[in-house]
Chain A
């Protein structure tokens, strides 16, 4: 390759314009982004010392969701492929981890299987397994585009649910299966072992320990996705979204890249699923329903399609909203605590109404999502296009069939 790279244009001197300095961002603006990221990470690092278990738990779910949303955003936001099957891949990661790390044995009436691998290895294997399952779907994910893929992936959610209920020795069936905690050479991410661990006078239990582990995973996920988007694969995926024909004549094998986006997105989902399992301590099939897939779509639309930061912001918004609403159900009008005899909407439903409204508002007024608003660019991508396109239904290129 390099020999062709170095073949320089032997052009007449007068056609060589003076090299313009790239219109550099003003010095300050260049530091806004890394500065903001550093500040957020610092806040997250000290948070366990200041907030209650409720907020830690909520934050952990938000971090797990952020990883999953980053993955879905690669597929839907960047490549323009709709997926309603994200819950299935989250389940793959969760049950994959539980099975790889779990021991075989009898729990109650249920005979469970599992190789009992070290948890860290189990986590890696769960992510790989989810990627492989996503790859098995590639004959479909490579051929179908946009909306059509969305409909096809719908099937995965239902097949997955059926398998989770019936592969009892792996999943534990309807009642689920308890999760082996993550462990690093004897240091477990639980309330015990080492018992009574304190840091700066604060007891460091499961939530605090998981917090830092999750933070590392989120940073790794965000960084890798950021690199992907800025690099050659990201450009090719964006080209597939914007115009398949242009992508293919630029040398991008469209079907292969569509499948690859699907595989990568599945792997992020697998990681998120495994983390969710660790936070829950127990995985049950009913969690991984269609509603979860929709939640993830809501995250990326609200946060901002095609942007890593957008996925994270959307995940935080969608995950925290029901939790915050139920926490403050007493003081909020119309919202009542779950199971309360008063008339009103439960926090779960209220949250769904709210983020339903948020999606509509975002689609109408800020196609770039919350992140687009933060950047002062409500129009989103600078193509002059005002609409958010999740699934593309037809290629917009005039291929000149009229000749």
Chain B
């Protein structure tokens, strides 16, 4: 598994443009979810966005994919400004995403993957209703490609199975495969390994790295599993209270005092790519943050545990009470 940025020799036939986020601000009725956040995703790299719960990571994803509109700032994908476009136009420009909770549609894995081919296909209502030859040709061709992608994501043997019958980890991979089916230039993964067991996590992180290596596309990753982030990310942006507090390569981030204070807790960040045992932080809450509002989520201080994740991976547990 390579950690450094890939050489662009293997990059696919289409150029992956740079994704540039400039001074994006999002407010929800007085709460500043993102405060002038900016970062740049180098083509073909894995860029992780990390931060404590409530830091603005998902908001950031929603701005990138057009689900939310930024109050200020711009997002550019190559020469296109995404900030004013509706989500389906952004998707057509080659930006695909997955969701923190799994959002699949009814039907089989194949149905879901073919939905991912929507922007790449053209069959309209009339042609499909009449089942014109070109419609079945198109369907057959894209189904083949969807099957390839399913096999790439180790879903080949459940290609025709209803998604509702698949176990959790597989459904998450279906979501990722569906995003890949869009042949995206930029792939946004929102907590791709949340709730997975160690084996599934390892499989998925391998898959993510191999997507970058073999497809050459950019990946933006929100993840709480620090082991995974430090292992596969090329660059990391750290958010806290909607502000960017650090940005750089994983090794620097691990040493950055602001990050340690805000996120990792203080402590000897000496652990290496051992994967599932990242922030063995000594319990020290971030009381040195004077302007912390009352809704501050818990500082991730698993002082007496060896929990693999700094944060509880379960999305439903974001409102965990502050340990005393």
Given contacts A9-B215, A19-B147, 9 further A-B contacts (CB under 8 A): A20-B157, A23-B161, A227-B129, A231-B123, A233-B125, A238-B105, A253-B88, A403-B33, A403-B54
CB proximity of A258 to chain B, nearest CB, Å: 13
For A224, give its contact among B123, B129, B135, B210 (CB under 8 Å).
B129
Sort A-B residue pairs by CB-CB distance and give the 5 closest, nearest first.
Answer: A400-B58, A251-B119, A251-B91, A231-B128, A382-B164
Pick from A16, A225, A233, A402: contact of B58, CB below 8 A.
Answer: A402
- Assembled-state Cα–Cα distance A231/B162 (Å): 17
- B55 — which chain A residues lie within 8 A by C-beta? 403
Residue A200 interfacial (CB < 8 Å): no
B65–A383 contact, CB under 8 A?
Answer: no
Does B88 lie within 8 Å of A252, measured CB to CB?
A: yes
Contact with B along A296-334 (1 / 0, CB 8 A): 000000000000000000000000000000000000000
B119-155 at interface with A (beta carbon < 8 Å): 119-125, 128-131, 135, 139, 141-142, 145, 147-149, 151-152, 154
Residue from B105, B142, B157 in contact with A239 in the complex, judged by beta carbons closer than 8 Å: B105
A382 with B106, Cβ < 8 A, contacts A9-B149, A401-B59 known: yes
CA distance A250 to B94 in the complex (A): 10
- Which chain B positions have C-beta within 8 A of A23? 157, 160-161
Which chain A positions have C-beta within 8 A of B223? none
Q: Complex formed: what's the CA distance from A382 to B160 in Å? A: 13
Interface string of A207-244 (1 = CB under 8 A from B): 00000000000000001110110011111101101110
Nearest chain B CB to A213's CB is how many angstroms away?
Answer: 20
- List residues of chain A with CB under 8 Å of any chain B CB: 1-5, 7-12, 15-17, 19-20, 22-23, 223-225, 227-228, 231-236, 238-239, 241-243, 245-254, 260, 264, 381-384, 397-403
Q: Would you call B101 an interface residue if the criterion is a C-beta within 8 Å of the partner chain's C-beta atoms?
A: yes
Task: Tell me how far the C-beta of B171 lies from the nearest C-beta in chain A, rounded to whole angstroms.
Answer: 11
**Whole-angstrom CA separation of A239 from B119 in the bound complex:** 14
Q: What size tier do the contact residues of chain B reach?
A: 35 or more
Q: Does B130 lie within 8 Å of A235, measured CB to CB?
A: no
Q: Are A7 and B14 neighbours in the complex by a CB distance under 8 Å?
A: yes
Whether B250 is near chain A, meaning CB under 8 Å from some CB there, is: no
Q: Which residues of B contact A16 (CB under 8 A)?
A: 151-152
Provide the B1-13 mask, 1 if CB < 8 A to any CB of A, else 0: 0000000001011
Across the interface, do B128 and A227 meet the contact criterion of CB distance under 8 Å?
yes
Cα distance, A25 to B182, chains bound together (Å):
29
A-contact 0/1 string along B112-124, CB 8 Å cutoff: 0011111111111
> In the bound complex, do residue B118 and residue A402 qualify as a contact, i.e. CB atoms below 8 Å apart?
no
| Residue pair A10, B12 in contact (C-beta under 8 Å) | yes
B67 within 8 A of A: yes
At the interface, yes or no: B279 with Cβ under 8 Å from chain A? no
B62, CB-defined interface residue at 8 Å: yes
Residues of A within 8 A of B156 (CB): 17, 19-20
Q: What are 13 A-B contacts with C-beta separation under 8 Å?
A: A9-B152, A9-B215, A20-B151, A22-B159, A227-B130, A231-B135, A232-B114, A233-B125, A246-B99, A250-B116, A253-B88, A397-B101, A400-B58
Asked if B214 is at the interface (CB within 8 A of a chain A CB), the reply is yes
- Within the complex, the shortest CB–CB distance from B173 to chain A, in Å, comes to 13
Whether A403 lies near B58 (C-beta < 8 A) is yes
Query: Nearest chain B CB to A47's CB is how many angstroms away?
Result: 27
A323 to chain B, nearest CB (A): 31
Count CB-based A-B contacts (< 8 Å): 197
CA distance A238 to B57 in the complex (A): 29
Given contacts A398-B315, A400-B61, contact A232 B91 (CB under 8 A): no
How many angstroms between the C-alpha atoms of A248 and B92 in the bound complex?
A: 10
Measured between beta carbons, the chain A residues less than 8 angstroms from B53 are: 402
By beta carbon, the residue of chain A nearest B95 is A249
B318 contacts the other chain (CB 8 A): yes
Q: Are B214 and A12 in contact (CB under 8 A)?
A: yes
Q: List, in ascending order, chain A residues with CB within 8 A of B12's CB.
A: 7, 10
A250→B103 CA distance, assembly (Å): 11
CA distance A238 to B108 in the complex (A): 12
Contact A249 B87 (CB under 8 A): yes
What residue of chain B has the Cβ atom nearest to residue A235's Cβ? B115
* Distance, CA A348 to CA B268, complexed state (A): 80
Report A20 CB to chain B, min CB distance, Å. 4
Q: Is there an interface contact between A232 and B118, defined as CB atoms closer than 8 Å? A: yes
* CB of B235 closer than 8 Å to a CB of A: no
Shortest Cβ distance from B315 into A: residue: A398
Interface residue B107 (Cβ < 8 Å from any Cβ of A): yes
Q: Is the CB of B121 within 8 A of A1?
A: yes
Q: Is the CB of B130 within 8 A of A249?
A: no
Q: Are the C-beta atoms of B67 and A399 separated by less than 8 Å? A: yes
Per the bound structure, the CA–CA distance linking A311 and B55 in Å amounts to 48
Q: Determine whether B66 belongs to the interface, using a CB cutoff of 8 Å to chain A.
A: yes
Give the most central of B88, B111, B130: most A CB within 10 Å.
B88
* Binary A-proximity of B65-92 (CB < 8 A = 1, otherwise 0): 1111000000000000000001110111
Question: Which chain B positions have C-beta within 8 A of A234?
Answer: 128
Report whether B118 and A260 are in contact in the complex, using a CB–CB cutoff of 8 Å: no
* Interface contact B86-A264, CB-CB below 8 Å: no
Q: Given A5-B145, A250-B182, are A17 and B151 neighbors across the interface (CB < 8 Å)?
A: yes
B14 with A243: CB separation less than 8 A: no
A372 to B11 Cα, complex, angstroms: 47
Query: Which residues on the B side are within 8 Å of A7 (C-beta)?
Result: 12-14, 183
**B127 → A minimal CB distance (Å):** 9
Scoring B105, B107, B190, B315 by chain A CB atoms within 10 A of each residue's CB, the highest score goes to B105
- B233: CB under 8 A from chain A? no
Let me know if B56 is at the binding interface, CB within 8 A.
yes
Residues from chain B with Cβ under 8 Å of A403 in the complex: 33-34, 54-60, 242
In the complex the two chains form, what is the Cα distance from A234 to B106 in whole Å? 11
The answer for the CA separation of A264 and B128 in the assembled complex, in Å, is 12
Chain B residue numbers with a CB within 8 Å of A22 are: 159-160
Q: Which residues of A contact B33 (CB under 8 A)?
A: 401, 403
Inter-chain CA distance A243–B13, complex, in Å, is 32
Interfacial chain A residues near B124, Cβ < 8 Å: 233
A400 and B63 CA atoms in complex are apart in Å by 11
**A91 and B202 alpha carbons, distance in the complex (Å):** 60
Of the residues B100, B135, B190, B214, contact of A10 by C-beta under 8 Å: B214
